[in-house]
Amino acid sequence: MTNFDLIVIGSGPAGRRAAIQAAKFRKKVLVVERGYRVGGVCVHTGTIPSKTLRETVLNLTGWRERGFYGRSYRVKQNIQPEDLKRRLSITLDHEVEILEHQFARNMVQRVTGTARFETPHRISVTLPDGKTESFTSDRIILAVGTVPHRPADVPFDGDLIVDPDEILDLKRLPRSLTVIGGGVIGIEYATIFSALDVKVTVLDPGAQLLGFIDQELVDEFLHDLRDRGITLRLKSNVAKVERVGGDSCVVYLEDGRQIRSEMVLFAAGRQGATDSLNLPAADLSSDKRGRLHVDPSTFQTSVAHIYAVGDIIGFPSLASTSMEQGRMAACHAFGEDIQAAPEFFPYGIYSVPEISTIGMTEEQLRDKKIPFETGVARFRETSRGHIMGLSSGFMKMVFSLENRRLLGVHIVGEGATELIHIGQAVLNLGGTLDYFVENTFNYPTLAEAYKIAALDAWNRFPKTQTNVALLRDAHTRLARA
């Protein structure tokens, strides 16, 4: 039996970052991964594949050029599933190669197989040939992620009725698609398929979609979706899903309505992948969604030498935050200082158009009774937006009325997930409205929207003497530009 300084279970973003961090401390690290290749959901079925599919669709359909050339413009006519999958496999191979090289360079050992606890310090791994091997360690990090929620009464067939993992292995391009679940994953796929001119219907039991995003932004986004012909059916509970013949499906709603489409994507939730871990052997247990509870500052579970990081601990369930959690857990496990993560991190939704947001929403500020003022900009107000032919794109910034500090940035439109980082830096460094008004931005850029939104907010701010002077200066500088 081999002993390690650290055993990491799972090679997704959380596990990989934990393993590499521990290896940098010159520790002997083992990563156990049950998948045939390293990378986790992030590389094989989640983040990277969905974003690659999105990019392929936007390129092949000529989506970004349609503002100029009209809705019927296409770079490639008659797009086939093979066209979509080709780029996917090249991208994934590249990602796996980078990871494998990273593990090799840092002398992280790997074993392919399914891990389960034998005791709180001993793991047994079932290898692909069915044999088992045991390993021990003083520290264990669980980074096992999640799997799609697949209710027993939904007749998944991997062809017409699919989950988000299966949709990547598309056998045919449907003419119509019903997406059950209007969460982030459901909305991303709904808008990607809509960009392919597939007729899309989204069903969700809630009264509002994307409730954690600033509602003005969501309204703007949903207006865009409806304008493109996406049907949104809220407060819709699904009673039954059925395949009818060789090429269509029916979703029956509890209120008696029926929705017919060629394909159904069931994207209503994910489940922690803790089933195979034999948690009781480590004195641990998961909640009813298979997730583990941890101390949020150290990522320790109730058993001090066992950590849990990434999607298995729930919100925010992002690749970006998972990596950071992995790094922090490894640091804590080996007695290194860890700083608490900054309060605000960006959230990106790679729908078409994309959404990104950081900090507080208008709704949160109202709830907390914090006085604020907003400023907005539309991308079509920027020269870069004109050049790109953008007809949509919206940025909203929220500032404190008490001390002028930036409290939140909310963006929907082209480049939102990149643009947000300017707001993130200012927000986490405690910057104010003045930063955006006084600084010069490259021209022509979409980032100029920050300046426009800030000036818009400034115009609405109560006019103290200082405000007036600064505003005058800013306008003079803009006029000279």
Ligand X SMILES: Cc1cc2nc3c(=O)[nH]c(=O)nc-3n(C[C@H](O)[C@H](O)[C@H](O)COP(=O)(O)OP(=O)(O)OC[C@H]3O[C@@H](n4cnc5c(N)ncnc54)[C@H](O)[C@@H]3O)c2cc1C
Pick 355 or 453: Cβ nearer ligand X: 355
Rounded to whole angstroms, what are the CA distances from 134 to 8, 211, 327, 372, 396? Answer: 14, 45, 25, 58, 54
- CA-CA-CA-CA dihedral for 106, 107, 108, 109, to nearest 10: 160
- Residue of 196, 222, 319, 406 that binds ligand X (CB under 6 A): 319
At 78, the amino acid letter reads N
32 binds ligand X, rule: CB under 6 A: yes
Size of the site for ligand X (CB under 6 A): 39
Pick 11 or 194: Cβ nearer ligand X: 11
Pick 33 or 448: Cβ nearer ligand X: 33
**In whole angstroms, what is the distance from residue 267 CA to residue 185 CA?**
7
Reading across the β-sheet that carries 2-4, which strands appear in turn? 2-4, 132-137, 122-126, 114-119
Q: What are residue 200's DSSP bridge partners?
A: 177
At 463, the amino acid letter reads K
318 binds ligand X, rule: CB under 6 A: yes
Phi, psi at 228, each rounded to 5°:
-85, -5
Candidate segments 38-46, 223-231, 290-298, 388-396, binder of ligand X by CB under 6 A: 38-46
375 binds ligand X, rule: CB under 6 A: no
Pick 222 or 277: Cβ nearer ligand X: 277
Q: How far is the CB of 41 from ligand X (least distance, A)?
A: 3
Query: 2, 9 in Cβ contact below 8 A?
Result: no
- Residue of 22, 42, 328, 416 that binds ligand X (CB under 6 A): 42
**In whole angstroms, what is the distance from residue 122 CA to residue 105 CA?**
26
190 binds ligand X, rule: CB under 6 A: no
276 binds ligand X, rule: CB under 6 A: yes
Give me the DSSP letters along 334-345.
TT---PPPPS--
Among residue numbers 1 through 30, which ones bind ligand X (CB under 6 A)?
A: 9-15
167 binds ligand X, rule: CB under 6 A: no
**In whole angstroms, what is the distance from residue 55 CA to residue 192 CA?**
9
**In whole angstroms, what is the distance from residue 277 CA to residue 392 CA?**
47
Among residue numbers 87 through 146, which ones bind ligand X (CB under 6 A)?
A: 114-115, 143-146
Q: How far is the CB of 275 from ligand X (least distance, A)?
A: 8
What value does the CA radius of gyration of the chain take, rounded to a whole number of Å? 24
Pick 61 or 114: Cβ nearer ligand X: 114
Give contact residues for ligand X (rule: CB under 6 A). Answer: 9-15, 32-35, 40-42, 46-47, 50-51, 114-115, 143-146, 164, 185, 273, 276-277, 310-312, 317-320, 322, 348, 350
